[in-house]
Amino acid sequence: MEDCSVDWSVWQGEMPATLMFIVRDGEVLLIEKLRGIGMGKINGPGGKIDPGETPLECVIRECQEELHITPIKPVKMGELWFAMSDIPDIHCHVFTATEFEGTPTATEEAVPIWTKIEDIPWDKMWEDDAHWLPQMLEGQKFLGRFLFEGERMQWRDVQLEDAGVSGWLIS
Ligand SMILES: CNc1ncnc2c1ncn2[C@@H]1O[C@H](COP(=O)(O)OP(=O)(O)OP(=O)(O)O)[C@@H](O)[C@H]1O
């Protein structure tokens, strides 16, 4: 991979966002995203953090809005730093949970898809996902930094456990 043109030591995401991956019985709750950034892709529920909201508050609200469920005791597992070419840079906080209230329901924003971990459809997801989601689903915390040109990943760096967590911008 070529050198990265981004100076990550001063990088600040312009758009704070969240993602949630609920895991139960060897399956993960994914969505087909019907609108917003990454429309048409498979991802976890999540979205932009509203002004005054914490990442935890945001990820719970987005699960309620997109799937009509409330995750219980979400755990922050990682940060994703996306330097983008055509949209603002995204600073995403990634959570997991094993319990939730409600029934995952299709909405105007998302269609829920329970997926066996071994059947995750990488070719329908953002390119970076294959470089941190498997590790996270095995319980490892992480910091992933990625440079995108449009929808194509140009550069990546993923740090696991303490090496990653110590780089988080928000604990
Ligand atoms: C570049 N590689 C990427 N890999 C994995 N996930 C990515 C991603 N780039 C963006 N994402 C996620 O996509 C959602 C966008 O937010 P998005 O749905 O547009 O926000 P929100 O639901 O608030 O949308 P509306 O403005 O209401 O349409 C948000 O979870 C964000 O973390």
**AA identity, residue 148:** F
Q: According to the model, what pLDDT value does residue 1 have?
A: 67
CATH number at residue 108: 3.90.79.10
Task: Return the residue matching tokens 């809005």.
Answer: 65
Q: How far apart are CA 79 and CA 19, in angstroms?
A: 10
Is residue 6 assigned to a domain?
no
Helix (H/G/I), strand (E/B), else coil: 152: strand
Number of domains present in the structure of the chain:
1
Q: How far apart are CA 66 and CA 124, in angstroms?
A: 19
Backbone angles phi, psi at 66, to 5 degrees: -85, -35
Ligand 1, atom nearest to 82 Cα = 1
Complex confidence, ipTM:
0.96
Q: How far apart are CA 89 and CA 14, in angstroms?
A: 5
Which residue in 84, 69, 61 sits closest to 145, CA to CA? 84
Q: According to the model, what pLDDT value does residue 3 have?
A: 75
35 lines ligand 1 (CB under 6 A): yes
pLDDT digits (tens, 9 = 90+) for 38-76: 999 999 999 999 999 999 999 999 999 999 999 999 999
pLDDT digits (tens, 9 = 90+) for 7-39: 999 999 999 999 999 999 999 999 999 999 999
Among 15, 33, 49, 92, which residue has the most ligand 1 atoms within 8 Å of its CB, making it the best to mutate? 92
- Closest C-alpha to ligand 1, atom 2: 126
Q: What percent of the chain lies above the pLDDT cut of 70?
A: 99
Is residue 135 assigned to a domain?
yes
- Determine the structural domain holding residue 109 and report its residue range: 15-165
Is residue 8 assigned to a domain?
no
Pair 140, 160: CB distance under 8 Å = yes
Q: How confident is the model at residue 115 (pLDDT cuts 50, 70, 90)?
A: very high
- Computed over every residue of the chain, the mean pLDDT equals 97
Taking the centre of ligand 1 as the mean of its atom positions, its distance from the CA of residue 18, in whole angstroms, is 8
